[in-house]
Amino acid sequence: MIWKWFRRRKSDSAAQLKEERLQQLERMLGHHFTIPGILTRASTHPSYLDQSDSRGESYERLEFLGDSVLNLAVSEWLFNLHPDAQEGVLSQQRAHIISRRFLANASEELGLPDCIQTGDDQNLLAGGGRQKIAADALEAVIGALYIDGGFEVARSFIERHILSLDVGHEEGFHTAKNRLQETIHELGRGQLTYRTTRATSAPDKSREDINFRCQVWLEGEPLGTGWGRTKKEAEKEAALDALDRLDKVRTASSRR
């Protein structure tokens, strides 16, 4: 009898924690969900589910939908914001905004990764694991917002929590490589060199679409590394990695 009581108390406690987590997530997202269970799905990583039980669905299907909604919202925003820009330039800027790195940063700013239910495997967060979960979960949330509230609700969320970050940087349509070159020029340093090689994987083991690895070098030292399906994508990721490192060095220097 005592064991039944203990299991019931444990189950009640878990249910209460789950409810509190969902309420916190709703407050963060600024939307009250009306479709039962959709927010639970949007915040459940596949690793949390056990095929032997029936705890529901992971966020993968919502992520698939959210990716398309995000692409449309970003494309429409760029199209209206820059009426004179050509297709290639618009595509470059969109690729920057919907990149895994940018989405993961937006997700972290929101605090979303800490609200995701995951399994007990600590390797999930190793390497680029947390970055992938952060970006994927954000797309799943966008999918859930679209289903529950419609495109306007999803677009409003995207503008507040994703596009606002890009606007604040005043980056215009500069590519990552151009921004890096300008930064190096401002610092009075030498010429950048990009070295691209074939690769079959990235630190994030879940990525199976990797074909190239790129390192950007400055005065004989590696400054950033990136992986991608194409040489261009790998170079862009390497430039973004270098920009991140330079920002950290600048921040550390300013605190001294």
Q: Which of 84, 120, 136, 139 is catalytic?
A: 139
**Phi, psi torsion values for 220, nearest 5 degrees:** 80, 5
Q: Diameter of the chain by CA atoms?
A: 76
Question: Which is it for the CA torsion 10, 16, 22, 25, positive or negative?
Answer: negative
- Quote the distance between the C-alpha of residue 19 and its chain's center: 25
Q: Is residue 140 a contact partner of residue 62, using CB atoms and an 8 Å limit?
A: yes
CA end-to-end span of the chain: 63
The structure tokens 């494309």 sit at 75
Q: What are residue 250's DSSP bridge partners?
A: none
Determine which helix (DSSP H) or strand (DSSP E) holds 110, and give its type and residue range.
helix 100-110
Instruction: For residue 53, indicate whether it is catalytic.
Output: no
Instruction: For residue 139, indicate whether it is catalytic.
Output: yes
Q: Which of 67, 136, 235, 241 is catalytic?
A: 67
Q: Which amino acid is at 211?
A: N
**Phi, psi torsion values for 244, nearest 5 degrees:** -60, -45
Alpha helices in 43-128 (DSSP H): 60-81, 87-97, 100-110
Residues with catalytic annotation?
A: 67, 139
